[in-house]
Amino acid sequence: MRLGPEFTDFDIETDSEVQIHGVKGGSGPPLLLLHGFPQTHLIWNKSYTVVAIDLRGYGASSKPHGDDKHIAYSKRVMARDCVRVMEYLGHSRFFLCGHDRGARVGHALLTTYPSAAIKAIFLDISPTLKMFDSTDQQLATAYYHWFFLIQPSPFPEDMILASPRLFAEKSLLGLTATSIDLFGPDAFAAYVAGLSDPASVHAMCEDYRAAATVDLDDARADEREGRRIGCPLRVLWGAKGVIEKCFDAVKDWSEVAEEGMVDKGSGAVGSGHYIPEEVPEELLGHVREFLVDG
């Protein structure tokens, strides 16, 4: 990993028998970085960070066993982990940048803890409820893993554990990446290791099972009760990816945010799904311009 000697590892207890692993370094305004599937905080190794964590169920963070309600992996619970980590580190308010699953956790954080985030950037997603409600053949083909991973345990777990490297390659190359080399050998080895560990694979499946159940219930409750994103939000997506082809991301996020909160600088960047690895300097420009210096 190439975060440099100024970055230090930490493990912070956020819940009963749950510890969140991450790295912290740098100076200035606090910025929380959240990764996607099936990755870890190593996604940010081409950028810079203040705090980058492994979401619960991923990397070196705890992997509590799920149940039939999937509450342990609801995005509200995962958002609570994030807030508790930042509070432990002395940051009651912070900037946030989330990719993929991390952005879904970020969405829950903005609606459940509205005073925590100063500004946020979400990378290459539309809201979960919108995406499920809009699923068509094109989306289901590209995002087949959404519907595979939510199948009852232990079917998807057993299938993945039978060939973890193949599943890692399929997952990463299936969303516009053209070569495994994009991720770097250390990061890819870490992702394969995660997909070789039964507890980790079960946790990842639970993340997706929660997305298709309790997270949808929570999103509908937000709609009914008027909970909307109330901080400035910039939405970026890959011009070569599925969000560009299947969704109107600015419109989708505007529907779940207070008026004027979706930043006018939102738009497509010159990449596919893996924005942090494919266009790190372009992303860093957005982070500096919108979050840190804006």
Does the residue 82 lie in any domain?
yes
Does the residue 1 lie in any domain?
no
- Average pLDDT on 282-294 reads 88
Cis omega (within 30 of 0) for bond into 198: no
Does the residue 252 lie in any domain?
yes
Answer with the residue of higher pLDDT: 41 or 51. 51
Neighbouring residues of 168: CB distance < 8 A, sequence distance ≥ 6: 38, 188, 191, 192, 195
Of all residues in the chain, the percent with pLDDT exceeding 90 is: 84
Q: What is the pLDDT of residue 48?
A: 43
Indicate whether 242 pLDDT > 70.
Answer: yes
Indicate whether 151 pLDDT > 60.
Answer: yes
pLDDT band of 93, cuts 50, 70, 90: very high
Q: What is the pLDDT of residue 2?
A: 39
Q: What is the pLDDT of residue 38?
A: 75
* 222 tagged catalytic: no
Annotated catalytic residue: which of 41, 91, 273, 286?
A: 273
Domains contained in the chain, number: 1
Answer with the residue of higher pLDDT: 294 or 69. 69
- Rounded distance, CA 166 to CA 71, Å? 29
Render pLDDT for 53-68 as a digit per residue (tens, 0 to 9): 999 999 999 999 999 9
Annotated catalytic residue: which of 81, 100, 207, 263?
A: 100
Indicate whether 47 pLDDT > 70.
Answer: no
Does the residue 79 lie in any domain?
yes
Query: Can you give the pTM of this predicted structure?
Result: 0.94
Q: What is the pLDDT of residue 46?
A: 44
Six-digit token pair at 200? 């980790």
pLDDT-wise least confident of 46-55, 128-137, 204-213, 285-294: 46-55
- Rounded distance, CA 33 to CA 283, Å? 12
* 100 tagged catalytic: yes
Q: Which domain holds residue 38?
A: 7-293
Q: What is the pLDDT of residue 178?
A: 76
- Average pLDDT on 146-158 reads 98
Does the residue 149 lie in any domain?
yes
Q: Does residue 110 contact residue 229 with C-beta atoms inside 8 Å?
A: yes
Does the residue 2 lie in any domain?
no
Does the residue 104 lie in any domain?
yes
Q: What is the pLDDT of residue 285?
A: 93
Render pLDDT for 5-45 as a digit per residue (tens, 0 to 9): 578 999 999 998 899 999 998 777 889 999 987 776 766 65
CATH number at residue 128: 3.40.50.1820
Does the residue 29 lie in any domain?
yes
